Structure 1
Amino acid sequence: MQAIEFNATPHGGMLLIPEIYRQQWEGLAVRVILLPADEVAPTTPKPKTLLERLRTVEKINAAPDLSDNHDAYVLGQTDA
């Protein structure tokens, strides 16, 4: 038995098969089992949010006046 697993969100009763699988499954009879995503054991860890990643930053190596002259640094005018 060949099987694939992917996450999808139904829209109007339709589920889209990811592009990489469409051709090999086109026209075949398939068995579909629907499970809510929150009840399925995750196969990969959930990505951390931006705030979760920022909390891990201990020290930033930057110019001492970065907060005062941020715009100048962004525009490449570091002699502000």
Structure 2
Amino acid sequence: MQAIEFEAQLKDGMIRLPTPYQHWRDNRSVKVILLATEDAPQTRPSDASQRLTAILEIGCRCAAAPELDPRSPDEIIGYDADGLPA
């Protein structure tokens, strides 16, 4: 399987392949994965249970994120000799 990556704008629900790949024939089998940018409009959940589900999904994504700084909060803040934040 060949993987390509490119950015595109949706137009009428369609994505145009970049020029180097437009030679691909019709009916070619492909696997498509779409990643929407953060500024894409998002629908707002309409009721409390949908909002709760959305919040829990965000929590799961955050919990799965890698730890970028293994230091404790106290180590990150740092304190001086008098115990005040440095």
Which TM-score band applies after superposition, normalised by the shorter structure?
A: 0.3 to 0.5
State the TM-score, normalizing by the size of structure 1: 0.41
State the TM-score, normalizing by the size of structure 2: 0.39
Q: Which has the higher helix share?
A: 2
Compare CA radii of gyration and give the structure with the larger one.
Answer: 1
